[in-house]
Chain A
């Protein structure tokens, strides 16, 4: 299925948010996920499914004032 991750359209073969981390290469311990504007809780990564057309933001903390 096609989804959008951090602004880029990508083909995604997995099904859950946890699969996203593996495919996209982000560190789940240091990232938070928002799908279509809603935060996905860390404890739900294994069950929360990703669907065709989802807009996914994967974010982490950086230095900033």
Chain B
């Protein structure tokens, strides 16, 4: 079965987008391999002096790099970071992340909509990280977003798909890939997001804080694939207030009258 994820004209077999934070450089490679990851986020930071390893040396060829604009508090700052990321060899994909709240790290949807438009105009493929709000998501789509990345729970919290009902509305109403980003803590939660029709799941902390990191990357890969298959298969219906026998009731022990 060919079931590819398409974003910004590029096709992916994997629906597991990896956040590359909190791993040792050596571990990054293993997580990408075990997770079957084809797209991973990166951040742009002030350089340390030479001699330290660079994460690009630990990312396999062919991996699509998705630089984020973390640290940006305004649309203009996000654009500056995106330009630097492009100069660093990241290509045109950019995860637009604009945050002014330092406690919950919630995204600023208004600034993010503005940044999406500015980035689109400069030839970027913007993927906005956002609070799952339908009206804002429509504005993101109109501004040129290539995908929508609503949060499941606060970044790094591992609390799961707290926003499920609102994410589902985006899945139903927005004609772009919906990728749950942030807060997913367990493979079962990633699977649930996929079952409800999300196009992909992004995870980072759930894997980075697991006891066995490569094994958890494999667990996420499997869960995301299972959820996708379940979505394509179409979930069975729910019966309320009664049972419905799965075995035929016509018995031989007594005659039914």
Contact surface of A with B, Cβ cutoff 8 Å: 6-7, 24-27, 30-34, 37, 39, 41-42, 57-65
Stretch binding the partner chain, chosen from B2-10, B79-87, B192-200, B239-247: B79-87
Q: How far is the CB of A22 from chain B (nearest CB, A)?
A: 10
Stretch binding the partner chain, chosen from B39-47, B130-138, B159-167, B220-228: B39-47
Q: How far is the CB of A45 from chain B (nearest CB, A)?
A: 11
Do B84 and A34 have beta carbons less than 8 Å apart? Answer: yes
B205 within 8 A of A: yes
Residue numbers in B under 8 Å from A33 (CB-CB): 87
Chain B interface size, as a band, is 35 or more
Q: If the complex has contacts A32-B87, A32-B88, A59-B44, are A64 and B19 also in contact, measured as CB distance less than 8 A?
A: yes
Q: In chain B between 58 and 82, which residues have their CB closer than 8 angstroms to a CB of chain A?
A: 65, 67-68, 70, 80
CA distance A41 to B83 in the complex (A): 10
Do B20 and A60 have beta carbons less than 8 Å apart? Answer: no
Residue among B47, B48, B70, B90 making CB contact with A64, cutoff 8 Å = B70
Do B182 and A61 have beta carbons less than 8 Å apart? Answer: no
Do B68 and A34 have beta carbons less than 8 Å apart? Answer: no
Residue among B43, B46, B90 making CB contact with A63, cutoff 8 Å = B43
B230 within 8 A of A: no
B49 within 8 A of A: yes
Do A26 and B204 have beta carbons less than 8 Å apart? Answer: no
